[in-house]
Amino acid sequence: MEEYIVSARKYRPLSFDTVVGQQSLTVTLKNAVKSGKLAHAYLFCGPRGVGKTTCARIFAKTINCEHPTAEGEACNECESCKAFNESRSYNIFELDAASNNSVENIKSLMEQTRIPPQVGYYKVFIIDEVHMLSTAAFNAFLKTLEEPPAHVIFILATTEKHKILPTILSRCQIYDFERMTVPNIISHLKAVAEKEGIQYEEQALSIIAEKADGGMRDALSIFDQAASFSQGNITYQKVIEDLNVLDMDNYFHIVDFALENKVSEIMVLLNNIINKGFDGGNLINGLASHVRNVLMAKDAQTLPLLEVSQQQRTRYQEQAQRCPTPFLYQALQIMNRCDVEYRQSSNKRLLVEITLIQVAQITQKDDDVPASGRSPKRLKTLFRNLIIKAQPKTVQQVTGASHTKATQEIAQTATTATHVSVETTPTTTPQPTKTPTMPKVNLGGLGMSFNNLLNADKPKEKKEETFDITNKEENQTFTQQDLIIEWRKMCTRIEKNNVGLAQRMRNLKPTVTECPHIEVVTGNNILLQEIIGIKGRIRKTMANELHNGNITFEIRLAKAEEIKKILTPREELEKLKQENAAVVSLIEKLGLDLV
């Protein structure tokens, strides 16, 4: 039986011209070979599977070639090239720093640098995954790396450049390798398939390229897997079945259903997807990426940002013509919020269903459509009015109403009596009895009556300003955290005009009693009246920022049991020490004290 070699090894590039997707780097390296201006240390960094080690081997073979071509490539005919191709060259050493990361390994390597090459011009040391070296090994490597012998060249390769010491970076020429683009991967896979005699569908190769996430080695590994599963005929259906990838048609169907507000069809489609074993969170992430691609396809300038095949790009353009831009923006916001809340949700499927329902409601105008997923607002209002009418009036409400009515009657009588006295002024008619009032007392020339003095500390009741809500059709749900964030943003804007009010409002904590109902509790009547005066503005601001035009506000005074003592910093520290023993230990170890 013939030995099988995986495609990633079998079709590994042997020259700079066969390297895929790194043209700028290969041209630079070939020019260095042609000019003979070689550095003593190079650092190749970039994602996995993009050709770092491959380019290091090709570069090492080329600089030792006895007869390089005019283009800067190795001749593959001299003794040095043949020795390299047959894996028997003594001029090229490869070290895996992941398993040889100690000081002893580096010292052993440094001893080999003293021996000049027997064949060729340079001894090349390729250190792969160099970021895995220990700090002591790096320090032992520094001096040799800075001033190596004239016949030694170091080529370091890593996927995590940020973990390498700056003293190492400063001694190397750094080459950043790019991720492979989907078109480049597809083109290379086509060439491999033709050489292997494998039939394929371009859409299937596109799925493999997207799954590879920019790595050519990953793409070739997935290609071998798909070829084995499909027995030499790689089709789209077989690839998504083998890789357990959700069919792209599902995303196109969900967006089409959402544009037509077909919630029932979306729920049925979601159920079928979950029954096939796909996770709801992956569905939301995939749908968000799909909507992002549709958004990019709306403009010719952003169309190149789609890393998909030409056939899929055409489908994205067709759907982008049907999708309004505001719909795409709001859908992305809703799905992004679902992605954030998905891990913490105890009922993940319900969260996904609510998210898809909200997406399907974005373009919905009529709330009375059957199966729309919304509760009709008119019924809500009707039931609310019925409940209010059915509630019995309290003693204070009855008394207040009677008092108001009596006051109006007295005022009307007094006005009539005054009018009559002015016109007739008879001498024999007895004067009407006046209601006794408190005498005015002048206090120190301040011109303040005794009644005014009694009511001086009582704030005047402010009337609520009315503002029209322009987004009444929005009914987006929001959490307590969303409310707190928008409340603080609003206080920051108020601070520009009224610092005192902004500071007092920032100390309040609004709560969501039942979405979209919000309750604000104040500790004193003065602040209560100030907030009532701007209640309309607050409601309009929250409605716009939280995307819910049905928000209602209730502002009231705190009850006696709700008022908590304001602790001093010292009292807060003592309370924290009682609740958390780790804080006490930290204070004692660091010798901290409250200033």
Residue 413 has pLDDT above 50, yes or no: no
CATH of domain 182-243: 1.10.8.60
- Coil/strand/helix, residue 1: coil
Kindly list the domain boundaries of the chain, sorted by start residue: 7-176, 182-243, 248-360, 480-562, 565-595
Q: What is the DSSP letter of 434?
A: P
Higher pLDDT, 594 or 74: 74
**CATH class of domain segment(s) 248-360:** mainly alpha
Mean pLDDT, rounded, for 253-282: 91
Q: What does the pLDDT look like over 1-39, one tens digit per residue?
A: 467 888 888 888 888 888 888 888 889 998 888 888 888
Task: Give the number of other Cβ atoms within 10 Å of residue 444's Cβ.
Answer: 6
pLDDT confidence of residue 595:
63
Instruction: Please state which of the ranges 185-189, 205-209, 435-439, 565-569 shows the lowest mean pLDDT.
Output: 435-439
Residue 565 has pLDDT above 70, yes or no: no
The residues, ordered by sequence, that sit 6+ positions from 30 with a Cβ below 8 Å of its Cβ are 16, 62, 71, 72, 73
C-beta pairs of 185-189 under 8 Å, 24+ apart in sequence: 185/20, 185/209, 185/212, 185/216, 185/219, 186/309, 187/20, 188/20, 188/216, 188/219, 189/219, 189/220, 189/223
CATH of domain 480-562: 3.30.300
Q: What is the pTM of this model?
A: 0.56
C-beta pairs of 230-239 under 8 Å, 24+ apart in sequence: 232/197, 232/198, 232/199, 233/198, 233/199, 233/200, 234/193, 234/198, 234/199, 234/200, 234/201, 234/204, 234/205, 235/200, 235/201, 235/204, 236/201, 236/203, 236/204, 236/207, 238/204, 239/204, 239/207, 239/208
Q: C-alpha 255: how far from its chain's center?
A: 21
- Select 7-176's CATH number: 3.40.50.300, 3.40.225.10, 3.30.470.10, 3.40.50.970: 3.40.50.300
- Coil/strand/helix, residue 508: coil
How do beta strands 552-557 and 517-522 pair? parallel
CA distance 291 to 319: 10
Looking from the CA of 572 toward its CB, the CA atoms found within 13 Å total: 6
C-beta pairs of 327-330 under 8 Å, 24+ apart in sequence: 327/258, 327/259, 327/362, 327/363, 328/291, 328/294, 328/295, 328/298, 329/295, 330/359, 330/362, 330/547
The residues, ordered by sequence, that sit 6+ positions from 32 with a Cβ below 8 Å of its Cβ are 38, 39, 72
Instruction: Please state which of the ranges 86-95, 185-194, 440-449 shows the lowest mean pLDDT.
Output: 440-449
CA distance 587 to 393: 57
b/e string for 402-417 if b means 16 or more Cβ within 10 A? Answer: eeeeeeeeeeeeeeee
pLDDT confidence of residue 2:
64
Residue 416 has pLDDT above 50, yes or no: no
Both structure tokens of 236: 């789209």
> What does the mean pLDDT of the chain come to?
79
pLDDT bracket for residue 406 (50, 70, 90): very low
The residues, ordered by sequence, that sit 6+ positions from 411 with a Cβ below 8 Å of its Cβ are none
Both structure tokens of 66: 């006895």
pLDDT confidence of residue 358:
92
Task: Give the number of other Cβ atoms within 10 Å of residue 338's Cβ.
Answer: 24
As a whole number of Å, the CA-based R_g of the chain is 39
Q: What does the pLDDT look like over 223-258, one tens digit per residue?
A: 999 988 888 888 888 888 888 888 888 999 999 999
